[in-house]
Amino acid sequence: MSGRILLVEDDGALREALIEVLAEMGYEVVSAPDGLEGLSVAAEQPEPCPILLDWRMPVLDGPAFLAQLRQLPRGRDFPVILASGDPAATRAEVGEEVTAVLPKPFDLDALIAVLERVAPARSP
């Protein structure tokens, strides 16, 4: 896997802040404001990359995004890190379809630990 991350997040301010932080860490960040656009961006990736996925979004929410992602030819190869403020979005709800579940607001150190496990950053 490359040092690329797909960020699918409808909150524009949070999306921009995460892009900035992740870029400073050496990640190349591609982003989408909703699940529908996120699917399109995922399908265009030259190789699977980690996806930081918001669970509750307009247009196409996290559960629908995840179901459709897994139907893509390489869809099962994308590690998905779920980030949600919804207390129902737990490991029990999503099962093994995701690599990790981070409750919002999430601890940046917890996100970094998961990312370093699935896709170490390139040197900034």
The pLDDT of residue 1 is 46
Long-range contacts of 28-32 (CB under 8 A, 24+ apart): 28/2, 28/3, 28/4, 28/122, 29/4, 29/5, 30/4, 30/5, 30/6, 31/6, 31/7, 32/6, 32/7, 32/8
Cα 22 to chain center, whole Å? Answer: 12
Whole-number Å distance between alpha carbons of 93 and 32 = 24
28's enclosing H/E stretch is: strand 28-32
Q: pTM for the whole thing? A: 0.90
Q: What is the pLDDT along the chain (124 residues), one digit of tens a residue?
A: 458 999 999 999 999 999 999 999 889 999 999 999 999 999 999 999 999 999 889 899 988 999 999 999 999 999 999 988 777 676 656 667 788 888 888 788 998 888 888 876 665 5
Q: What is the pLDDT of residue 46?
A: 93
105: preceding bond cis by omega (within 30 degrees): yes
Which tokens hold the place of 37? 């656009």
Give the right CATH number for 4-118 from 3.30.420.40, 3.40.50.2300, 3.40.50.1100, 3.30.360.10. Answer: 3.40.50.2300
What is the maximum span of the chain, computed from C-alpha positions, in angstroms?
Answer: 36
pLDDT at 108: 86
Residue 91's pLDDT is what?
61
